């Protein structure tokens, strides 16, 4: 018997196959539809945040590229991390701004799959890159005499490329297994972008295996890099405490504090979202947490790396003084 698809009228937005499994032609992102009177206010706030993210991370990329004093491995990783942040937030925020502007959340099945795939790949790359940055700090503080040899330009490039390759391999498979599920409960996603938790909530049938795959993937994506960061910083703290002078200890701690803050912000909110049990009771909390690690963390990162880093603040002062001098001339 040949299988055939029958497309229902447009208003139904579903395809039904002969085995009675339904596949949505499109999803509806509910986003902030529960507060329609605030949509222009939210549009203004999120547009402002998006511009700040682009400018802040763009400036970090620029000064770590052109400033001679910042041509070290850690700033190479920070530059790559800032580029990732721009891509990461651009996967979700422009779409959310459009939905707030039009008051429509319709997104096609394949656009939803594409958005989720890029979001997961970029988020996973960030997780591994944060682990790489912790390893860089470990080598710099615990093995400073061999730092330039261990963290050579070739090794730094390999670590960044490796982070991307691991993320792509994991999340292409993850996206396929999620989007292959039958979605027969509803085509409405109580979220502002396509993500795994809201999609699992509208999937039907026995999805226990799929949920287990998500948890296992999360272990590789979140838990393993986080454990590597913990091991690196436990060795770093042990080494710092052995330093003879208070000045040396404070300087060593200051080089790591920015990275620790970013790790706590990003991993904390992302871990709660993906590792907690699925429940309809805390959907609004899930959306708030998602806002935190998809929008607020990328906005804070340039501030964290610049305000808490004397090398970056010094480079910024030089950059802007040169800029103003050129303008005056």
Pairing of strands 188-189, 22-24: unpaired
Domain range summary for the chain, segments of one domain joined by +: 6-293+304-328
Options 2.60.40.3080, 1.20.1070.10, 3.40.720.10, 3.30.390.50; CATH of 6-293+304-328? 1.20.1070.10
Residue 186 binned pLDDT confidence (cut-offs 50, 70, 90): confident
List pLDDT tens digits, range 236-282: 888 888 877 776 677 667 667 777 878 887 777 676 666 665 655 55
308-314: list long-range contacts, CB under 8 Å, 24+ apart. Answer: 308/254, 308/257, 308/258, 308/261, 309/254, 309/258, 310/254, 311/69, 311/70, 311/75, 312/60, 312/63, 312/70, 314/69
Round to whole Å and give the CA distance between 194 and 188.
11
- Quote the strand ranges of the chain, DSSP E: 6-7, 14-16, 22-24, 26-29, 106-108, 188-189
pTM of the predicted model as reported, rounded to 2 decimal places:
0.86
Indicate the Cα dihedral angle 13, 89, 273, 25, nearest 10°: 10
122 falls in which pLDDT band (50, 70, 90)? Answer: very high
């Amino acid at each position: 018997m040949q299988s055939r698809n029958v497309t229902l009228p447009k208003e139904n937005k579903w395809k039904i196959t002969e085995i009675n499994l339904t596949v949505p032609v499109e999803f509806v992102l509910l986003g902030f539809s529960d507060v329609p009177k605030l949509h222009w206010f939210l549009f203004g706030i999120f547009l402002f945040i998006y511009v700040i993210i682009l400018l802040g991370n763009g400036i970090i990329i620029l000064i770590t590229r052109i400033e001679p004093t910042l041509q070290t491995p850690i700033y190479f990783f920070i530059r790559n991390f800032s580029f990732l942040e721009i891509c990461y937030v651009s996967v979700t925020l422009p779409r959310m701004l459009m939905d707030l502007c039009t008051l429509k959340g319709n997104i096609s099945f394949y656009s939803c799959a594409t958005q989720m795939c890029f979001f997961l790949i970029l988020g996973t790359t960030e997780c591994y890159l944060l682990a790489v940055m912790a390893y860089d700090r470990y080598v710099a503080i615990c093995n400073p005499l061999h730092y330039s040899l261990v963290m050579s330009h070739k090794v730094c490039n390999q670590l960044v490329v490796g982070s991307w390759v691991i993320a792509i391999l994991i999340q292409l498979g993850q996206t396929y297994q999620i989007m292959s599920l039958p979605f027969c409960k509803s085509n409405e996603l109580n979220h502002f972008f396509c993500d795994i938790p809201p999609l699992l909530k509208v999937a039907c049938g026995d999805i226990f295996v799929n949920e287990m795959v998500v948890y296992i993937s999360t272990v590789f994506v979140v838990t393993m890099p986080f454990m590597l960061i913990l091991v690196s910083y436990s060795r770093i703290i042990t080494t710092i405490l052995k330093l003879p002078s208070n000045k040396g200890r404070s300087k060593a701690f200051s080089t790591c504090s920015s990275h620790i803050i970013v790790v706590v912000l990003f991993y904390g909110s992302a871990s709660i979202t993906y590792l907690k049990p699925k429940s309809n009771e805390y959907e609004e909390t899930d959306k708030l947490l998602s806002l935190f690690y998809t929008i607020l963390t990328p906005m804070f990162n340039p501030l964290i790396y610049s305000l808490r880093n004397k090398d970056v603040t010094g480079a910024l002062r030089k950059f802007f003084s040169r800029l103003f001098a050129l303008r005056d001339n």
